[in-house]
Structure 1
Amino acid sequence: MNFFERLGQGLWNHSDSLWAQFLSWTMIVLLLWAMLYTIVEENVGIDGDLFRLLVLLITAYLVGQLTPFVGLPPLLGMTVTGVVLRNIGFYHPAKGQYKDFTRTLKQLATTVGMVRAGGRLVPDAIYVALHCHQSLRITGLGMVPSFLEAMVT
């Protein structure tokens, strides 16, 4: 079987082929960018806010896919990517034209992180801790941040 036959077989076997997934996601992103570029030219260009936001999302996703190979959770890789891109001056969400959209994305990311962190809690350990002398400590750990956040906002 030559190279082109193997390539064709990999492209047509969509369920097992990483190449087909990469090609389809690349086409989707390029078509999305082309569609947005025809609608709002100045914001989707290389200096535009939407282009930078799209690069941030794609880069964060790719780094999130690579961080499990290092032994770290994907959300940590995504968070570090956002911090790095902001610190090098690539994207400042508070200064752009799409402040509300980026604020919503931040809230969504925070919610996903909290749900994933809460999903890893062991209910039996919490039950045992609540029924012993540590119940006051756990209650304080749960209420103090919420109380401080309510006071600040």
Structure 2
Amino acid sequence: MKKTNAMRLLDAKKYKYKIEEYPVDENDLSAVSAAAKTGQDIRRIFKTLVLIGDKTGYLVACTPGERELDLKSLAKVSQNKKVEMIPMKDLEKITGYIRGGCSPLGMKKNYPTYIDESAKEFPSILISGGKRGLQIELEAENLAEMLNGVFISISFI
């Protein structure tokens, strides 16, 4: 398998990780679909969301696949009055990744990253590996360290 930027960054830090590949359904790129296809607990699959704040610019949120992002909480912790999802058409230009394959690791720039604190409940979590049909399993603490990420409560059911 060809290494993605996310894998190369983890290799450079010598962090342990596992790869989970699954068949891609272009009509359903959701975390719920990834969980079903990999047999993983949806609470451990973290989706990568890219937003823009009215004061700070771009930021990244990593939330469990079955939960919704709390925009008000994220705005508050990121010192914004308001945050909103970026238009999908801008995702690749901003991050270097496409929808369904956007990893918090290896984006074009390092954006402030907020990881839902529920990630600390598990020995490891799964994030996008940087392409569709690829998940990386790693320790949440390692992810936070690589991204200078902040663990905070930013999601709800």
Larger helix percent: 1
TM bracket (short chain):
under 0.3
Larger strand percent: 2
| Alignment TM-score, normalising by the size of structure 2 | 0.22
* Higher gyration radius (CA): 1
